[in-house]
A and B are shown apart, each in its own frame.
Chain A
């Protein structure tokens, strides 16, 4: 019951954010402006959905509340794949590839690497803090490697490569919007259909296996789905380290039961509120268009630190 009220309330907030995003300060050629805003809105909503679903699922299969795909360096891995592709094909070769083919190659590379790197750690049930630390460091390593490759490629193209390294919510990459939305719908639908399975997985590995869950298979499949969603979000706006943590933590607090049906919906709506509402507020309220990702990372980082200390209290 409580969950329904919460969902109703934040649904209203999310809709308000969307309406505000579309209408505030609208002038000039209205049809054109609406189309432009509509495309950007679709991109932001896709990102919010992709990150919300992937983060909540990831936290369930890793059995914790502070680990997220971004903190474990998955989006840095995606960018590294991108840079490696530019490096292998040369700038010209890269530009002449179709964006869809590029995205397909990069997303497959990410899924493969995620399996190679994360799967063994999950299977061996590594100590959580160690895994976190290793994840943060791996993320840093791949960011630096990307940076290094970018400089090795060509100094002239360096600026272009570097621009892709900051998250940018005000100018999402709309080339890929159609395919990104499609992938998000499919992967999201898949995760949603598996929500009961995830509810069981959330009870912990041993209990879940006791209840007849094929643990390894479920975790592996969800891990692949998660990396696909991370690829979508990173391709559209770039990396945002703590966004997933922020909305997943809030969603956890706002829902009474930990049923994935509610947590998924609440997290997605919160994502929309933070991204769409935040972007509207920064752009029109405060006149600062490009800084949402920085604000989100700042707040998310604080939440993360609070979590570290809360773990101690327990």
Chain B
């Protein structure tokens, strides 16, 4: 990596870090219950409020955002397509199917078991997507995301059908619309796995960058393509499943952030992956804060906020790309 690029990345990291720090402080300060260091009348003491509600919520948003953005980046590398991410490739919907299955057959199962089964289902669903997407003609790059969106829709329809039959539609609403308002101490700690996922992704970043060149190129450069695909698949599936289990589906994070970072800083993942993670954290936390203040004291779920931002940016990307071409 050239020295100039290195400085660029370092500056970008510092800027993003400051931005995130600011948002964290903001997120801790906003809430229905008024903050006061001495403890509010009849309310919860400051320390308890922070430890039980505010801090977990903020951390959950940061972890989810970072993990989902990195997961999206990995998916885009595996499919060699800029418009793919876990919610547009059936990954998140498959995870929801997994949770539904656990809820039906093992209603007493804890979060850990749910996350495990959801990850397994997400893995199967995503592998199926990848295997099928590779058979689409490479000269028509828009077919892949189109297929992904409809594939996600078909899996989603199956999930809705089962949920309808079993009176679980209300739970389904929770899993399919990401929301941090229910996050409390003891309910989100699984999300720390996002650290591991971002870490592993950073370690294999160079190999992922080479994989983006395509299977033949990567293989001739000494990459075990199959093995790397499997690792990438596991990372993506586990991250999406965790997010769906703990807070619900937050769409388009993995699409918006990697695309923006790639525009600003290029495609060398060793330099950009940390930026992608930071960017995801910033986007999700900012969306959560926006959702909290938009109609105070009511809340707009972060999934709804992202559902508006995501497609708008997506549209901008595809239409702009056409004009550039």
Q: Which residues of A approach B to under 8 Å, CB–CB? A: 127, 129-130, 132-134, 136-138, 140-141, 143-145, 147-148, 151-152, 155, 241, 288, 290-291, 294-295, 297-298, 301-302, 304-305, 308-309, 312
Contacts and interface: CB of A to CB of B under 8 A. Distances in A.
Contacts of B135: 309, 312
* Interface SS majority for chain B: helix
Nearest to B305: A148
Interface string B145-166: 1110111011001101100110
How many B residues are at the interface, by size bracket? 35 or more
Interface string B285-319: 00000000011001011001101101110110011
Contacts of A152: 294-295, 300
A144 B153 contact: no
B153 A130 contact: no
A301 B154 contact: yes
B298 A291 contact: no
Interface stretch (B16-24, B136-144, B224-232): B136-144
Contacts, number: 102
A134 B136 contact: no
* Interface SS majority for chain A: helix
A297 B157 contact: yes
B311 A141 contact: yes
B322 A130 contact: yes
10 contacts: A136-B150, A141-B312, A144-B304, A144-B308, A151-B295, A152-B300, A301-B150, A301-B153, A301-B154, A309-B135
Contact of A288 (B145, B146, B165, B294): B165
Contacts of B301: 151
B157 A130 contact: no
A141 B315 contact: yes
Nearest to B151: A305
A137 B311 contact: yes
A11 to B, nearest CB: 30
Given A129-B140, A132-B146, A309-B136, A145 B308 contact: yes
B157 A294 contact: yes
Contacts of A143: 307
Contacts of B154: 297-298, 301-302, 305
A305 B318 CA distance: 21
Given A132-B146, A138-B315, A148 B308 contact: yes
A291 B307 contact: no
A147 B306 CA distance: 12
B146 A147 contact: no
A308 B147 contact: yes
Contacts of A312: 135-137, 143
A301 B153 CA distance: 7
Given A134-B315, A305-B150, A155 B164 contact: no
Contacts of A297: 153-154, 157
Contact of B304 (A132, A133, A148, A298): A148
B66 to A, nearest CB: 23
A133 B145 contact: yes
Contacts of B165: 288, 291
Given A141-B315, A147-B304, A152-B294, A294 B149 contact: no
A134 B317 CA distance: 10
A149 to B, nearest CB: 10
B287 to A, nearest CB: 12
Contacts of A155: 298
Nearest to A129: B142
Contacts of A308: 136, 143, 146-147, 150
B153 A129 contact: no
Contacts of B312: 141
Contacts of B305: 148
B308 A298 contact: no
B318 A130 contact: yes
Nearest to B298: A155
Contacts of A147: 304, 307
